[in-house]
Copies of this chain bind each other. A is one copy, B any other.
Amino acid sequence: MFNVPKRYISVKALYETVPKTEKQLDVINGWVRSVRLLKKVAFIDLYDGSTNRDVKVVIKEPEESDVVKSLKTGQCLTIHSPILKLTNGSRTQAFELLVENPTKNLQVLGHVTEHYPLQKKGHSLEFLRTLPTLKYRTLYYGSLLRFRSHMEEYFINFFNKQENMLKVSPPIFTVNDCEGAGEQFLVNSPVLQDKETFLTVSTQLHLEILSTAVSNCWTLSPCFRAEKSATPRHLMEFWMLEAELSFITSLDELISFTKRFLQSIVTQCYENQDSLLTDQIPTLINKPEILLKWEMLRDLDNWKTISYTEAIKILTEQHKKQPFPRYEPQWGEPLQTEHEKWLAGSHFKSPVFVTDYPKDCKAFYMKLNDDKNTVACFDLLVPEMGEIIGGSLREDNYNTLQYEMQRRNMNKDGELDWYLEMRQQGGAPHGGFGLGFERFISYLLGVSNIKDTIPFPRSANSSISL
């Protein structure tokens, strides 16, 4: 059994509580990021993952200790009685930890083999992605884990605390296909009864049930789509944030709520920028660029809202001037990513809500507008990425919904009767939105491959090793 005392200070706590005077600490634990061995002194950059920062450890009389002489990147260490020494050092670390008598005070908890693949030098993301058990020890992947964790706090702060909405857990197993796209995973087991059971593609239909009991609710829940696309934008398994609100009757109200949500989350990010962002990996996380983006996202007053029909008009004019490479914009067709990116990125140079799409471009549950051709929905398009949030009012008229389901050849075996009947039993006008959590993280941090924003990504055409 290793001899690690019970109380140790995390690197995060160390930075938060740096005293004004020198002080002997009890214990610090962590992993070796890099080591430099000189004659009279050795330097270690140590990290423990509690923060984006490493801590510099200075070891006196390294020659006396075999442990110090054989220090290697990746080893797990426990350090007893380090002395916190104030330095006139850089902005990033105004102190260092001094270790005297390393033979006694420095212990290796976990060794590494000669083939330990992470070294001080930067590795390519392609290489790191082949190391699912080790990549989170790098500053880049570690900082993404920490960001994701903080985001979950910010969601609770907004939905539960500010908006008094309930966090709920809709089911993963379902017999319905909410989006009607047929991209579901089938589950097999002898304990499952008669019906074919699938993994949910969206929790929305179940959220609607719950919102009709508690007014307003939200979830952050895994969803699964058996899409064949193996792109940097797609995951088979991802976490979806969905919110559903009763008593809203206009798209404007839903759009204001969505803006309030974004403003809250981005403001929380902005206020915690020092702990969320790091200066040390500028090629991957460009702090000034991210802060500019966050400032744009907080500046909601400048965001335009246009209808799909207006969007098509703008796109068609642009297409005449300079054709889009792959798709000609056409009323009645979905907006393509190239259109979305151009609208937000080049035309408006800001996020833009596009509303009231043709009903055949969207799912069956969206509320039909008075024109009978379009539905009360929006897509929020952002520069660089295109669509990031989709929302709609839900059809609350029984007859209209029934007709639409028939028109789409749905509900032939009455499998969605329960959904229809909710419109007859004390239904409320309602609506909501959905947002892929990994996509949101990718966008906020400028991460080019969505696979890097979730631990252990599951995506098409890549086999699962653990």
A interface vs B, CB < 8 Å?
1-4, 6, 8, 10, 12-13, 29-32, 48-50, 74-76, 78, 109-113, 116, 132-134, 136-137, 141-142, 145-146, 148-150, 152-153, 156, 160-161, 164, 166-176, 184-195, 197, 199, 205-206, 209-210, 212-217, 221-222, 224, 226-228, 236-237, 239, 246-250, 253, 396, 418-419, 421-429, 454-456, 458, 460-466
Point out the residue from B113, B194, B224 that lies within 8 Å of A463, measured CB to CB.
B194
Look across to chain B and name the residue whose beta carbon is closest to the beta carbon of A187: B185
In the assembled complex, the Cα of A212 lies from the Cα of B133 at a distance in Å of 9
Point out the residue from B173, B206, B236, B424 that lies within 8 Å of A237, measured CB to CB.
B173
In the assembled complex, the Cα of A195 lies from the Cα of B464 at a distance in Å of 7
B156 lies within 8 A of A454 (CB): no
Q: Copy number of this protein in the oligomer?
A: 2
| Residues A463 and B193 in contact in the complex (CB < 8 Å), given A213-B145, A455-B169 | yes
B465 lies within 8 A of A175 (CB): yes
In the assembled complex, the Cα of A206 lies from the Cα of B141 at a distance in Å of 15
A134 lies within 8 A of B425 (CB): yes
In the assembled complex, the Cα of A142 lies from the Cα of B237 at a distance in Å of 30
Residue contacts A-B, CB under 8 angstroms, 24 given: A1-B250, A13-B164, A29-B247, A31-B426, A49-B213, A74-B426, A76-B426, A76-B427, A110-B396, A112-B425, A113-B424, A116-B425, A116-B426, A133-B209, A136-B213, A136-B214, A146-B214, A152-B156, A169-B239, A172-B224, A186-B188, A191-B228, A192-B464, A222-B222
Chain B residues whose C-beta falls within 8 Å of the C-beta of A185 in the assembled complex: 187-189
In the assembled complex, the Cα of A248 lies from the Cα of B27 at a distance in Å of 13
In the assembled complex, the Cα of A456 lies from the Cα of B421 at a distance in Å of 17
In the assembled complex, the Cα of A192 lies from the Cα of B460 at a distance in Å of 7
In the assembled complex, the Cα of A215 lies from the Cα of B47 at a distance in Å of 10
B1 lies within 8 A of A249 (CB): yes
Chain B residues whose C-beta falls within 8 Å of the C-beta of A423 in the assembled complex: 110
Chain B residues whose C-beta falls within 8 Å of the C-beta of A186 in the assembled complex: 187-189
